[in-house]
């Protein structure tokens, strides 16, 4: 364990900060990384070290860490009108303009937008909307929410209940009414000899069996990420959404696309749903909505669901829900600017231009005997490490291989994220070709160093 001087940033952080989602053995061994500022796709720490952040912060900083236009938009809005709410029929002009813009860039001709401060709150709000519609409209038993094993939807009590990660048992979650169906990761969960098409058909069958088991009249909604992000960049098996959407339609169950990671271009189109050829009943957006320059989440309801929520609200005279800072005018001004830059600078074209280079380098890494799968789409990818490539056997958890690789990357000036036994990469959209090359050169070196030490 390193010893830091008592007044060092590291010692101060360890004394005063309760770290979340942080591997504590690694933290104690290495100390925290304390960042002061960013330039382009790099962040700088208190010791003057520079790191290329291959995770765009937490998927969100798609325009890098020093975009002047976003900072200017924030300053201008702080000067003009620094804060307001969206209760009692009062709302800022910026929140109205952003609602219109989000509908314009959505797959919907018409719809309605509701703002939150995070992706978790957006998912939580979405579930409350479904519960509210069903309760007010006389179907109070229709409450169950189906999500997928390894899906990630957030950390509030409801959104954690939607999250299919084993650690939620430590909170005594999920709450009642939350159910999981299978994870469509063919490489990991395909049966011996099962084709991808047969696997996809099995996923749809298992979903239908679950709906039948629970009672279709008790199911309020199905929520899915187009590509599972925090589950380890799990790309759905071929035809997955085309196979499950008819099942959901058969039972009148809304399909909600959690686009907190996929939204705004990460997968190579504006929405992951578009990339995978389906139209959801509602979209959950956050993260890149403000390019990470302000906390914000949004629910974009398609026309039909918006009408239902409006009708239920009219019935009892209001939709009794909202957060003090929902639709904050500064956040909305930043989001409007971020979307303007995304469109003006054709950043989704840029994602598609960088993607072949990104995936070619991923594939090259997958030639390593301990990389079992290189997966991803657009500018998101994961490298799954395995002890045995033929059997896909993982390393013992205690070997902490992904932490070791990620820590070595940090030593070499690269930030990337360990997730289970995978390394996740999702660089900002403004990354240059040369920076992509440097990222992978550094990752290759780090992987080589760690595995030669493991032996
Ligand atoms: C798909 C998805 N949904 C929801 C969330 C929760 O968002 P937040 O951390 O803003 O609450 C995340 C966060 O990573 C996410 O990846």
* Per-residue pLDDT in tens (0 to 9) along the chain, 455 residues: 678 999 999 999 999 999 999 989 889 889 999 999 999 999 999 999 999 999 999 999 999 999 999 999 999 999 999 999 999 999 999 999 999 999 999 999 999 999 999 999 999 999 999 999 999 999 999 999 999 999 999 999 999 999 999 999 999 999 999 999 999 999 999 999 999 999 999 999 999 999 999 999 999 999 999 999 999 999 999 999 999 999 999 999 999 999 999 999 999 999 999 999 999 999 999 999 999 999 999 999 999 999 999 999 999 999 999 999 999 999 999 999 999 999 999 999 999 999 999 999 999 999 999 999 999 999 999 999 999 999 999 999 889 999 999 999 999 999 999 999 999 999 999 999 999 999 999 999 999 999 999 87
CA distances from 417 to 45, 56, 414 (A): 17, 11, 10
Q: Is the peptide bond before 174 cis (omega within 30 degrees of 0)?
A: yes
Distance from the alpha carbon of residue 41 to the mean position of ligand 1, in angstroms: 21
The answer to whether 409 and 418 have CB atoms below 8 angstroms apart is no
- CA–CA dist 261, 65 (Å, integer): 18
The answer to whether 226 and 271 have CB atoms below 8 angstroms apart is yes
Distance from the alpha carbon of residue 320 to the mean position of ligand 1, in angstroms: 24
Compute the chain's Rg from CA coordinates: 22
Q: What is the 3-state secondary structure (H, E, C) of 370-389?
A: CEEEEEEECCEEEEEECCEC
| Residue 119 near ligand 1, beta carbon < 6 Å | yes
The answer to whether 201 and 237 have CB atoms below 8 angstroms apart is no
**Residue whose entry in the numeric block shows the structure tokens 């992978």:** 440
| Residue 446 near ligand 1, beta carbon < 6 Å | no
| Residue 57 near ligand 1, beta carbon < 6 Å | no
CB contact set of 139 (below 8 Å; sequence gap of 6+): 217
> Which of 20, 119, 229, when mutated, tests ligand 1's pocket best, judged by the most ligand atoms within 8 Å of its CB?
119
CB contact set of 163 (below 8 Å; sequence gap of 6+): 147, 151, 152, 153, 154, 155
| Residue 228 near ligand 1, beta carbon < 6 Å | no
**Residue whose entry in the numeric block shows the structure tokens 């959407």:** 245
Helix (H) or strand (E) holding 116: strand 111-116
The pair of three-digit structure tokens given for residue 263, joined into one six-digit string: 């939204």
Instruction: Determine phi and psi for 190, rounding to 5 degrees.
Output: -65, 140
């Amino acid at each position: 364990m390193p010893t830091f001087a008592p007044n060092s940033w590291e010692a101060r952080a360890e004394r005063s900060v309760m770290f979340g989602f942080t591997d504590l053995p690694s933290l104690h061994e290495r100390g925290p990384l304390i960042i002061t500022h960013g330039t382009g796709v790099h962040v700088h720490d208190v010791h003057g070290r520079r790191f290329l952040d291959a995770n765009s912060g937490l998927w969100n900083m798609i325009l890098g860490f020093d975009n002047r236009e976003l900072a200017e938009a924030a300053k201008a809005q702080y000067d003009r009108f620094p804060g307001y709410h969206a209760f009692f029929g009062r709302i800022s002009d910026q929140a109205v303009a952003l609602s219109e813009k989000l509908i314009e860039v959505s797959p919907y001709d018409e719809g309605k937008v509701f703002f939150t401060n995070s992706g978790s709150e957006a998912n939580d709000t979405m579930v409350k909307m479904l519960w509210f519609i069903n309760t007010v409209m006389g179907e109070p038993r229709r409450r169950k929410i189906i999500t997928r094993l390894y899906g990630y939807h957030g950390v509030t009590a409801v959104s954690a209940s939607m999250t299919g990660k084993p650690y939620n048992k430590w909170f005594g979650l999920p709450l009642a009414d939350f159910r999981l169906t299978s994870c469509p990761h063919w490489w990991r969960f395909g049966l011996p000899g099962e084709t991808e098409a047969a696997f996809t058909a099995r996923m749809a069958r298992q979903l239908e069996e679950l709906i039948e088991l629970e009672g279709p009249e008790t199911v309020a909604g199905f929520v899915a990420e187009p590509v599972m992000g925090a589950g380890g960049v799990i790309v759905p098996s071929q035809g997955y959404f085309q196979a499950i959407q008819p099942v959901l339609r058969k039972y009148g169950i809304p399909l909600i696309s959690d686009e907190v990671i996929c939204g705004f271009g990460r997968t190579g189109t504006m929405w992951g749903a578009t990339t995978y050829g389906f139209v959801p009943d509602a979209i959950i957006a956050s993260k890149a909505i403000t390019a990470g320059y302000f906390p914000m989440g949004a629910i974009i309801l398609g026309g039909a669901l918006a009408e239902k929520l409006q009708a239920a609200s009219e019935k009892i005279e209001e939709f009794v829900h909202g957060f003090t800072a929902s639709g904050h005018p500064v956040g909305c001004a930043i989001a409007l600017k971020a979307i303007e830059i995304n469109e003006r600078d054709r950043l989704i074209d840029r994602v598609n231009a960088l993607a072949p280079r990104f995936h070619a380098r991923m594939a090259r890494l997958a030639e390593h005997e301990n990389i079992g799968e290189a997966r991803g789409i657009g500018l998101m990818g994961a490298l799954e490490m395995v002890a045995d490539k033929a059997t896909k056997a993982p390393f013992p958890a205690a070997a902490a291989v992904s932490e070791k690789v990620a820590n070595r990357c940090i030593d070499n000036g690269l930030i990337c994220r360990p997730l289970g036994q995978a390394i996740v990469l999702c660089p900002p959209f403004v990354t240059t070709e040369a920076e992509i090359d440097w990222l992978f050169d550094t990752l290759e070196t780090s992987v080589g160093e760690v595995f030669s030490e493991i032996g």
